[in-house]
Structure 1
Amino acid sequence: MDHELTITTLAERPGLEGPMWSMKDLWPAFTMHDPVSWAYMGQVVRRFPEYVLVATDAEGAVVARGFSVPFRLDEEGRGALPARGWDEVVLWAFSDLRHGREPDTVSALEVTVDTGALGRGVSHAMLAAMRENTRRLGFAELVAPVRPNAKHLEASASLHEYAFRTRESDGLPQDPWLRVHVRAGGRIEAVAPASMTISGSLEQWREWTGLPFDADGPVEVPGALVPVHCEAALGYAVYVEPNVWVRHAVAAG
C-alpha cells in the first residue's frame, strides 16, 4: 500500500483537473468511443466535482483518479441495478439532476491509476476513499459496474460464469479487480450484459485496434472483455461490453 498518497475530491483541489486527464493509462483505444462517455464524462467533472477523487504522490504528481455519480435507484421504472450498467447509470444520474430528483445511491464509474504507479496498492486506496466519500456525503450505498480486469484474457468465456469464479485458497473472486472490491466489503450482485455499447465503421475499428476487420463474425480484440461483432459486408462492427454489478454498503453519516 502506498502510504504517501493524498486523496481528495476535485472540488477541494480543482487545479488538478488538467493533470488528472493527462495521466498515462492502460485503457484500450476503443473504450474512448462510447457515446455516453463522450457526452457526459466532462460533465461529471463540472456537475459532480465532490464525487470525483484525485490522488497525488509525495511529490504532488497526480497518480490516480476516481469518478462517481449520485442517482436515485428508488424511482419508478428502476429499483434494480440496470442491465445496461455503466451507460444507464450515467443517464439516470443526469436525468435525476435535470429533474431535481433526490439521489439515494452513488455509483462508481471509474478508478484509473497512472501506469507509473501500478503495483503500489493505489487502486485499493482509491476504492476505500470512494467508499468513505460516499459515506461522508450521506449515502448508505455505493454500487459499481465493475470492469473485471483479467476477463479480456478469456474473451469467449461467459461473464455470467466468470464473475462468480472463486479461488480455492480463500474463496475470494478469481478476477483481481473483483477481488479488490470484495475485500473492501463489496458483494457481487449481477452481470450487466450491455453495460457499454461501442459501434463504428470498419475503418474506425481498424484504426482503434490495428486488426483487419474484413470478415463477418466475432473478432477477439486485445483488451476487450467479449468479442467484437463484425458485419464486414455492411461496413460496421459493434462491441457490447458486459460489466459486473457490485454493491458496497457504507454507513451513512
Structure 2
Amino acid sequence: MDLLVTTAGQRPDLVPLLEDFNGWPAFMRQDPVAPLYYRDPVTAYPEFVLIGIDRDRPDRLVAKGYSVPFTWEGDPAESLPAGGWDQVILTAALDRREGRRGTMVSALEISIRADLKGRGLSSIMLAAMRRNAADQGYADLVAPVRPNAKHRHPQMSIVDYANLRRDDGLPVDPWLRVHIRAGGQITGTSARAMTIAGSLADWRDWTGLPFDTTGPIEVPGALVPVHCDTVHDHAVYCEPCVWVHHRLP
C-alpha cells in the first residue's frame, strides 16, 4: 500500500473522509469532555489532525490520528496528568482560550480501518504523529495509551497490566509494544483517564446489557468493570490509561 499521511491543514479537501469510519463502542462515545476537542478539531487544530489514505484509492480513509498541544509544567519523563485523556483535553481547551501554545503534544487517538488492521499501519501513523509534533517545534509527544488488549483482563489493575512483559522484555499489550518500539517510554498510569456516567437506562442503551444488579459489571470492550448502582439509578465507568512519553529528535 502506498500510504499518504498528511494533515487536515495541508489537505483540507480530505477532511470529509474523517467520518468514513468509527470503531469505538457506543459507550466510549459518551465521555462529556470529548466534545471540547472532537466537536471541531479540524478548525481548532488542523495541523494536529492526521489523515491517512492509499494513493491508489484516494477516496477511502485508511487511518486517522488526532493529537493536541497542551501545557504540562512537569517533566513528562517523570510524571504526566493524573486525569489522563480527559485532563489533556480540558487543559488544551483552556490553553486555546488563553492563547497559550502548549508545552508539548498529546496523542488522543490513532484509528485504523477495521479491514486493514494487522498490517503495521498503526506504527506508520505513530511515526507520522511523532514527526508532525517535531515539525511543529515540540520536543515531546505524550500518549494516554488505551491498551488494546486490556479489555481481555478487566479485573486486572492497570498498573499490573502495564507491567506485563513478554520473554523479549517488551509489553504483552500490542499497542504498548508499538509505542515502545517507536522510542516511547512508559512513565506511569492513570486510573481515571476518562469518566463516563449515565443512568441505568443509558447504559442499557449503550451496551445492550440489563444493568439490573448493583456492583461491578463487565462490559465488552471496557478495560475495567463499570460500577452499577441500582438503588440510585446510575452507573459509572472510569477508564484507565498508560502514559507513554516520546522524546522527539
- TM-score using structure 2 length: 0.95
**Matched residue, 2:147:** 148
Once residues 120 and 4 of structure 1 are traced to their aligned partners in structure 2, the CA distance between those partners, rounded to angstroms, is 13
> Which runs of at least 4 in structure 1 moved beyond 3 Å after TM superposition?
none
Distance 1:40 1:127 in 2: 20
The reply to whether residue 237 of structure 1 matches residue 235 of structure 2 is: yes
* Contact persistence 2:195–2:239 (CA under 8 A): yes
- The corresponding residue for 2:107 is 108
Distance 1:99 1:131 in 2: 26
User: Cα deviation per residue 1:52-99 (whole Å; 9 max; x = unaligned)?
Assistant: 100001211211110000112128xxx941111000011111111111
Q: What are the residue-to-residue correspondences of 1:84-95 with 2, within 5 Å?
A: 84-95=83-94
**Aligned residue in 2 for 1:45:** 42
Structure 1 unaligned segments of length 5 or more: list them.
none
Identity %: 52
1: CA distance between counterparts of 2:51 and 2:231?
Answer: 45
Deviation at 1:14, TM superposition (A): 1.4
The residue aligned with 2:68 is 69
Tell me how far 1:24 sits from its aligned partner. 4.5
Q: For structure 1, which segment, 12-21 or 50-59, has the greater mean C-alpha deviation from structure 2 after superposition?
A: 12-21
Contact residue 73 and residue 80 of structure 1 kept, 8 A: no
Q: State which of 182, 185, 196 in structure 2 corresponds to 1:184.
A: 182
Q: What does residue 248 of structure 1 align with?
A: 246
Q: Hey, what's the Cα distance between the residues in 2 that align with 1:205 and 1:233?
A: 15
Q: Deviations over 1:94-149 (max 9, x none)?
A: 11111122322000000011112211111110000000001111111100000000
User: Alignment length, in residue pairs?
Assistant: 244
Superposed, 1:123-202 pairs within 5 Å as 123-168=122-167, 170-202=168-200
CA RMSD across the alignment = 1.3
Which amino acid letter does the alignment assign opposite residue 21 of structure 1?
A: E
Q: Distance in 2 between matches of 1:15 and 1:229?
A: 43
Distance 2:26 2:174 in 1: 22
CA contact (8 A) 1:32 1:38 kept: no
Structure 2: tracts of 5 or more residues without a match: none
Which residue number corresponds to residue 219 of structure 1?
A: 217
| Cα deviation 1:24-49 (Å, max 9, x = unaligned) | 52x11100000011332123221101
Give CA deviations for 1:144-192 in whole Å, capped at 9, x if unaligned.
Answer: 0000000000001011111111101x11000000000000000001101
SS at match of 2:231: helix
Q: Distance in 2 between matches of 1:241 and 1:72?
A: 22
1:30 matches 2:27 = yes
TM-score (norm 1): 0.93
- In 2, Cα distance between the equivalents of 1:214 and 1:150? 27
Q: For residue 117 of structure 2, what is the aligned residue in structure 1?
A: 118
